[in-house]
Amino acid sequence: MINAAPTDLTGKTCLITGAFGGIGASVVEHFSALGATVYATDISETYSGDAIYRQFDLIDELSDACDWVKKIKPDVLFNNAAIFDMGSILDADLEQYDRLFGLNVRAFYAVMQATAKSMVINEKPGSIINVASQAGHRGEALVAHYCATKAAVISYTQSTALALASYKVRVNAISPGVIDTPMWKHVDALFSKFEGKELGQKKQEVGEAVPLGHMGSASDVARAAVFLASDQSSYMTAQTICIDGGNVLR
């Protein structure tokens, strides 16, 4: 009889950043349903999800957030907090650069580092799951800064995985493609501004262009997170899983 590794997360302490958005909220639901004790943070002051919640602005309150991470002593980190913006190389100024790199790279790295230190100090074999993007695998004319931040996430994932392997801490990334979440209203409006498209047009176009023929859902990403958080992926580290319907071939 096959002794299949469980996806059960009972007994695990899981931390999720960017918990208020579509993907983060879905991961909270999935981890909670599988028995984990879930801690969550986002910039929003209000929260109604199934988690122990603390509000942090990870740009202005990063040190406090990292202290909170150390107190939690997580077994699993879903490192998801990020922002999106657009502008061509001629338009995307250093103010936009500072905002995107401030959250998507600097804060991402600090939270990952605080989690890693906690796991090593407490001798906890753990799983760190970083959220990249299909945009991290290739440049896009109107999304230069965002693409660069997500490429950095993939690179840091690989380096951190190699650094922590001897401590039995696994580090992997998920690269979502076009996922139908509330954030797409903002993304679609930006494309409307920069490409002169009707509202809703870009969303329809990118969904139809996916090889599987439609946009993904937040639960598609959450199921991959469950795999990486659980013993199902116990021999996997330094990898990036593309959840994108076939958009990126690797």
**CB-count burial class (<10 Å; 0-12, 13-18, 19+) for 3:** exposed
Q: Establish whether 146 is a catalytic residue.
A: yes
- Output DSSP code: residue 102: I
Annotated catalytic residue within 39, 47, 53, 146: 146
CA distance 131 to 229: 13
Interacting residues of 91 by C-beta distance below 8 A, sequence separation 6+:
none
Q: Which two tokens mark 195?
A: 């490409």
**CB-count burial class (<10 Å; 0-12, 13-18, 19+) for 167:** middle
CA distance 123 to 162: 17
CA distance 13 to 138: 34
CA distance 185 to 84: 12
Q: Which residues are catalytic?
A: 146
